[in-house]
Amino acid sequence: MKNFYIETLGCQMNKSDSERISGILSHFGYFETENEKEAQLLIINTCSIRQLSEDKAYSKLGVWGKRKKSNPEIKIAICGCVAQQDKEKIRKRAPYVDLIFGTHNIYELPDLIKHIENGEKICAVTNTPVIRNNNDFKIIRKPSVNAWIPIIEGCNNFCTYCVVPFTRGRERSRKPEEIIKEAQNIINEGFKEITLLGQNVDSYGKDFNDKNITLANLLRELNKIEGDFRIRFVTSYPSDITDDLINAVDECDKVCKYFHIPMQSGNSRILKEMNRHYTKQQYYEIVSKIRSRFPDVAITSDFIAGFPGETEEEFLDTLNAIEELELDYSNTAAYSPREFTKAGKMTDKFLPEDVKYERLERLNEKNKQACLKSNEKFTGKILKVLVENKTEKDGNIILNSRADNNKIVHFTDKTKKIGDFAFVKITKAQTWCLFGEPVE
Ligand code: SF4
């Protein structure tokens, strides 16, 4: 038995890939350890969405490279988006790396591992997936109440700032029967929540040439699985949210009333520059349609501060959008130029770093205010929550849970444990969470 350690940077898709990598390795005598110092195989699953994430990957490789000098038996592998995009750069910067494998090459791992065990250095990066039969290997999921299921990978949208279409390729949906089987297994294993994953989850099925294969219909099928569990889906592309999808969310009692819909900018000119296929007005209409259908829904978003050429007035449109749309939470980031992307070549329009980061600060402040306002709306309401974990404070056990609409709720109840559903009356709202007491 050999130990491996895997460090995962970036999004949920990467975390889900890491679970698949763990499953594959477990078939070949490897055992996952949380302690990197006792691992014979070190893997970093990387993210290239921002320069900072990329820098983190190289810094980790540097630390591992020093360790390999004193113990040459250690094998080092790098995968994920940086590996997919930058194999030559990795070879130059970290020649001690034994294995580079891309986002399309995870299912080649059994062969790749044999080669590096024989002392070879391998680089397996292709532009199309090598095999994609997810049910061949057991997936080793981390202990949790939630399990991720990737349903579509890649993206066809080519937003001008984003590397995903280059690192993950074009959209490829998994067959519905494969997803339903995986979901059934997850529920049998005792998980209480399924999150369907996709860079653009609402595009699910468009590549199948069968108009019945849609995210809405997949939700309807998954909702039929027996058991006490709930279903989420992320990430939604604004203009791909159809009326049928909204209907399905409404019809299906297990589907959470929660939408994560990145807006990216509150200004239509910037949206066009970003190659986002909707205007500010269209985004407002989608939000209003969802809110009028589900009164306690939470809508969260993503925003970029300081996109090339963004003026102060255009940035103010973003701040106004967060307020006017009453967004419940937003992920924020300063624009970070990425290789291969169109925006990355708009160098004459790049904003100075201090301008970008000053805008980011204001964006974060606006987000904070919006979150508090959103949380305050729930004071006095009763929410159904799922207990995710527990902590101890002053001798009391606090249950940390998440409501259907993704709000974090803390409460105390000696009769409940991790994985239980409960009804909680909200008594206090803070910026990032809610507090409550259990009700029958
Ligand atoms: S929709 Fe745009 S931001 Fe999202 S993954 Fe596709 S290209 Fe990237």
Are both 344 and 219 inside the same structural domain? yes
Nearest-atom index, ligand 1, CA of 237? 1
260 CA to middle of ligand 1, Å? 13
Residue numbers of the domain that contains 263: 135-376
Nearest-atom index, ligand 1, CA of 163? 8
Are both 151 and 213 inside the same structural domain? yes
**CB 400 within 8 Å of CB 424:** no
Domain assignment present for residue 129? The answer is no
In terms of Cβ atoms closer than 10 Å to its own Cβ (0-12, 13-18, 19+), residue 234 is buried
Of 236, 331, 330, 242, give the one whose Cα is nearest residue 293. Answer: 242
**CB 39 within 8 Å of CB 6:** no
**CB 4 within 8 Å of CB 32:** yes
Nearest-atom index, ligand 1, CA of 199? 5
Q: For a pLDDT cut of 90, what percent of the chain falls above it?
A: 84
Query: For residues 389-407, b (16+ Cβ closer than 10 Å) or e, as one string?
Result: eeeeeeeeebbbbbbbbbb
Are both 58 and 87 inside the same structural domain? yes
237 CA to middle of ligand 1, Å? 8
344 CA to middle of ligand 1, Å? 15
**CB 165 within 8 Å of CB 199:** no
pLDDT tens digits, one per residue of 180-228:
999 999 999 999 999 999 999 999 999 998 999 999 999 999 999 999 9
Residue nearest to atom 4 of ligand 1 (CA): 199
Instruction: Tell me what the pLDDT averaged over the chain comes to.
Output: 94
CATH code for position 65: 3.40.50.2300
β-strands 408-411, 396-403 pairing = antiparallel
Residue nearest to atom 8 of ligand 1 (CA): 162
- Site to probe by mutation for ligand 1, drawn from 155, 161, 166 as the one with most ligand atoms within 8 Å of Cβ, is 155
334 CA to middle of ligand 1, Å? 16
Nearest-atom index, ligand 1, CA of 158? 7
Q: Which residues line ligand 1 (CB under 6 A)?
A: 155, 157-159, 162, 164-165, 199-200, 237
Are both 106 and 250 inside the same structural domain? no
pLDDT tens digits, one per residue of 229-288:
999 999 999 999 999 999 999 999 999 999 999 999 999 999 999 999 999 999 999 999
203 CA to middle of ligand 1, Å? 12
pLDDT tens digits, one per residue of 321-375:
999 999 999 999 999 999 889 999 999 999 999 999 999 999 999 999 999 999 9
Nearest-atom index, ligand 1, CA of 155? 6
Are both 206 and 321 inside the same structural domain? yes
Are both 71 and 196 inside the same structural domain? no
CATH code for position 357: 3.80.30.20
CATH code for position 395: 2.40.50.140
